[in-house]
Structure 1
Amino acid sequence: MSSGQLLQSSGQGTSQSDLHQFIAELLKKAQICINGDQPWDMQLKEQRVLDQAIARGNLGLGEAYMNGEWHAEHLDEFFCRLLRTRMTDNMRPWKLFIHAFAARYLNRQSIRRAWQVGEVHYDLGNDFYAAMLDPRMTYTCGYWENATNLAEAQEAKLDLICRKLELQPGMRVLDIGSGWGSFMSYAAQHYGVKCVGVSISREQVEWAKQRYKDLPLEFRLQDYRQINEKFDRIASVGMFEHVGRKNYRTYMEVAHRCLADDGLFLLHTIGKNLRRSVPDPWINKYIFPNGELPSIGQIGDAVDELFVVEDLHNFGADYDKTLMAWHRNFEAAWPLFSHKLGERFYRMWTYYLLSCAGAFRARDIQLWQWVLSKKGIAGGYRRERI
């Protein structure tokens, strides 16, 4: 029986022992054993974990982990090995039909709903993120080509963006999804530009206003769809994951109307390999409400007749290193937050960071930087990498 057939029949008479045997065989193909002695093996404390994984996919598996019902010493490697097999690509737990329908057909990133991720995720507390991130509070993938630590990797990424945008002193730059202002501050300090940033996180905007009050930066609590003014350059670093397939074209139309005719637009985003896949239900519920990863094809459709793709750079493997660095910082700082946030949050955040690290390590998801122009650069675009 195939994995799809077994899952579809899970509520139609298939025995519990058959289901458990199926999962054991699936894991064995990924060189993972149930209650084995390797650090990436799955240690079960409750047998119902396997039933939850079959019925609810990663939502059931993640909630069981949060509840302490299973464990893996190296959770990142557990997910890397599992995802590298690609055996889960076609698994469709029957109880997730409604989630899949909503993701595909409803606009979960409307202007009203777009603010939810700021309130749930980004407004957790600036002190919490300061303990986990680099000194500039950069919450996106670092660039590790020549870096030896997280701070170096993040500054290398910021400088790479500035060079790809060919920034010059006096330029006016828009940052769509400005976060804590790491790109804007770096660009102003090292390239002499003026920046406007928009974010849907009140905590981020207030923090950035205070931190960078002496720089020519303007931080706005604003949805990107409300912007209607011209800029020499546009950057969007780690925000497109919150736009959603129903709004990809609108997003690109906003960037097009706001970019000068001879300008450049850099889009930095996580991406997925499969166009027709739906958002991970556990990540959607607990980490990034209403988030969705785009495929290359979906971005291509969105820029059609609006932009020329000058460059496309994939350094997704670097997100593995970035997430593992964040996890080390999180572990070291946890005693400061344990009383306030509690054990279930600790297991939730651990699952988030390490499952994502494993996914990038398995090349199940990617990190792209796109450089776009309105009409094409005369003579061609000079590619930046190092």
Structure 2
Amino acid sequence: MAEAAPRLSALVHDLFGTPLPVRLRAWDGSEAGPPDGPVLVLRNRRGLRRLLWRPGELGLARGWVAGDLDVEGDLFTVLDRLSGFIWERDTPHRSLRDPSLRTAAATLLALGGPLPPPPPPPEEVRGRTGGSHTRVRDRRAISHHYDVGNPFYELVLGPSMVYSCAYWDEGGSLEEAQRAKLDLVCRKLGLTEGQRLLDVGCGWGSLAMHAAREYGVRATGITLSREQAAYARKRIAEAGLTDRIEIRVQDYRDVRDGPYDAISSIGMAEHVGTVRYQEYARQLYTLLAPGGRLLNHQIARRPERNESRYRVDQFIDRYVFPDGELSPLGRTVTTLEGAGFEVRDVESIREHYALTLRRWVANLEEGWDDAVRLTSPGRARVWRLYMAASAVSFERNRIGVNQILAVRTPEGGASGLPLRTRTWN
């Protein structure tokens, strides 16, 4: 008798006090839950065992990456409904002495089978040693994420090769929105011909190229990814900009050739880590000339009521950004001020990142067969889940993204900024 889905659905209702918000289809063909909308598919008992041995997001992620879990219909809708149901619920702690919890565990064992836990999918990062955010460990973490292969990133990001939040107007293409973001950064930095720009975490060189071509600066870009650096150098040579741009494979801690007139840090600080962020801010301050500007573009999480309870997202940490950390906006501002910066402007562009991620997911889905060929089925599934879940998190205000403009204000207090900064002239 096909009964796995109804039993699981009833179990969820008993544990959470509310029905599962999506329809569930189990490996035996049974279904349960609301008839409308997308379907969460549990393809085999192994997926259930993953959840039994690793309850929560890591078990779900392993099931998804391995193909034990799937979605029929709109993935964004499933993630949106599950966000409100699981991650945003203030669920009280349940003791193992709770009879209902023990009954639930027995039911799961009966359905999933008392076999050992399945091994994690090969895409998962394992075996990290030593303290976090050493030079060696940071280099390995960056390689895990960015050295997936430049053709894969071309497929997902499109011709702009910009891997950060675009800046949207009504309508328009991803390429136009990314160009608008690059230009916004340059205008906030007040770039003028002949200035020196340091782009920390320069990616595939898009910002350095825009700044050199449109504003006449001499740019230095640094990255820990050798694949990114090789790709950026090739693009720069093809554009005839090698006399204005230098790309280095270099740790930010090792930059010694300041002062620079301006520094951009776009989607870089998330990799630095809480234990290093003060050091990072002080290093950028040291590298800036008096009167120089820093544009820090960074994803932020919402502060916890009790910050000691904050835990890194296990899926992101194991599969996407090893050792990556998000800080609340207030902590970032305080850290920059503690390093000596005068923070002059903060702009939240949260909705813009949701739109960007949805376009990246569309690119991935449209080129799915090529994405699998360029990486692996598991790696492509990692990216689809990561980008779709991130889009939903931005839409639901679980995370945000902010551009912080800070100045190394010289003695005497003349910031060099216009009186009405939002004109960015």
TM-score bin, normalised by smaller chain? 0.7 to 0.9
CA contact (8 A) 1:84 1:362 kept: no
Match of 2:302 among 258, 273, 277: 273
- Counterparts of 1:1-386 in structure 2 under 5 Å? 20-22=12-14, 25=17, 28=20, 31-35=21-25, 36-46=34-44, 49=47, 52-53=50-51, 55-72=54-71, 73-84=73-84, 87-88=88-89, 107-213=131-237, 214-215=240-241, 216-228=244-256, 229-275=258-304, 276=307, 277-305=310-338, 306-375=340-409, 377=415, 380=419, 382-384=421-423
Q: Residues 257, 385 of structure 1: CA spacing in aligned structure 2 closer, same or farther, 3 A cutoff?
A: closer
Q: Distance in 2 between matches of 1:184 and 1:92?
A: 50
Q: Distance in 1 between matches of 2:291 and 2:147?
A: 36
User: How much does 1:196 deviate?
Assistant: 0.5
**What's 1:5 paired with?**
none
CA contact (8 A) 1:84 1:363 kept: no
Q: Distance in 1 between matches of 2:420 and 2:254?
A: 30
Q: Distance in 2 between matches of 1:385 and 1:68?
A: 48
- The residue type equivalent to 1:271 in the other structure is A
1:332-376 CA-partner distances (Å, limit 9, x unpaired): 222224345332223222211211111111111111100001226
Q: Structure 2-normalised TM-score?
A: 0.77
1:7-56 CA-partner distances (Å, limit 9, x unpaired): xxxxxxxxx9986335664564xx44445433345333346756755744
Q: Distance in 2 between matches of 1:279 and 1:385?
A: 36
1:299-318 CA-partner distances (Å, limit 9, x unpaired): 13312331111111111111
Q: Distance in 2 between matches of 1:115 and 1:92?
A: 38
**What's 2:106 paired with?**
none
Q: Distance in 2 between matches of 1:172 and 1:143?
A: 24
1:201-223 CA-partner distances (Å, limit 9, x unpaired): 00000111111022110101001
Q: Residues 281, 22 of structure 1: CA spacing in aligned structure 2 closer, same or farther, 3 A cutoff?
A: farther
1:155-207 CA-partner distances (Å, limit 9, x unpaired): 01111111111111111000010000111101111111110011010000011
Q: Structure 1-normalised TM-score?
A: 0.84
- The residue type equivalent to 2:312 in the other structure is P
CA contact (8 A) 1:262 1:373 kept: yes
CA contact (8 A) 2:312 2:325 kept: yes
CA contact (8 A) 1:147 1:156 kept: no
**What's 2:108 paired with?**
none
Q: Residues 314, 210 of structure 1: CA spacing in aligned structure 2 closer, same or farther, 3 A cutoff?
A: same
CA contact (8 A) 2:13 2:19 kept: no
Q: Residues 145, 17 of structure 1: CA spacing in aligned structure 2 closer, same or farther, 3 A cutoff?
A: closer
- The residue type equivalent to 1:354 in the other structure is A
Structure 2 unaligned segments of length 5 or more: list them. Answer: 1-7, 26-33, 96-129
User: How much does 1:81 deviate?
Assistant: 3.1
The DSSP-based 3-state class of the residue aligned with 1:42 is strand
The DSSP-based 3-state class of the residue aligned with 1:293 is coil
**What's 2:119 paired with?**
none
CA contact (8 A) 1:27 1:33 kept: no
- The residue type equivalent to 1:174 in the other structure is L
- The residue type equivalent to 1:43 in the other structure is V
CA contact (8 A) 2:337 2:343 kept: no
Q: Which moved more, 1:311-320 or 1:55-64?
A: 55-64
Q: Distance in 2 between matches of 1:143 and 1:356?
A: 17
Q: Distance in 1 between matches of 2:341 and 2:293?
A: 10
- The residue type equivalent to 2:245 in the other structure is L
- The residue type equivalent to 2:176 in the other structure is E
User: How much does 1:274 deviate?
Assistant: 2.1
CA contact (8 A) 1:83 1:364 kept: no
**What's 1:99 paired with?**
none
Q: Residues 359, 49 of structure 1: CA spacing in aligned structure 2 closer, same or farther, 3 A cutoff?
A: farther
The DSSP-based 3-state class of the residue aligned with 2:208 is helix
Q: Which moved more, 1:85-94 or 1:364-373?
A: 85-94
1:122-159 CA-partner distances (Å, limit 9, x unpaired): 11111111111131210111111245111011001111
CA contact (8 A) 1:241 1:269 kept: yes
Larger relative contact order (C-alpha < 8 A, sep ≥ 6)? 1
Q: Residues 270, 90 of structure 1: CA spacing in aligned structure 2 closer, same or farther, 3 A cutoff?
A: farther
Matched residues, percent identical?
32
Q: Residues 360, 65 of structure 1: CA spacing in aligned structure 2 closer, same or farther, 3 A cutoff?
A: same
The DSSP-based 3-state class of the residue aligned with 1:43 is strand
Q: Residues 43, 262 of structure 1: CA spacing in aligned structure 2 closer, same or farther, 3 A cutoff?
A: same
1:74-104 CA-partner distances (Å, limit 9, x unpaired): 222222233356634678899xxxxxxxxxx
- The residue type equivalent to 1:164 in the other structure is K
CA contact (8 A) 2:12 2:19 kept: no
CA contact (8 A) 1:180 1:207 kept: yes
Q: Distance in 2 between matches of 1:315 and 1:197?
A: 24
Q: Residues 207, 197 of structure 1: CA spacing in aligned structure 2 closer, same or farther, 3 A cutoff?
A: same
CA contact (8 A) 1:80 1:361 kept: no
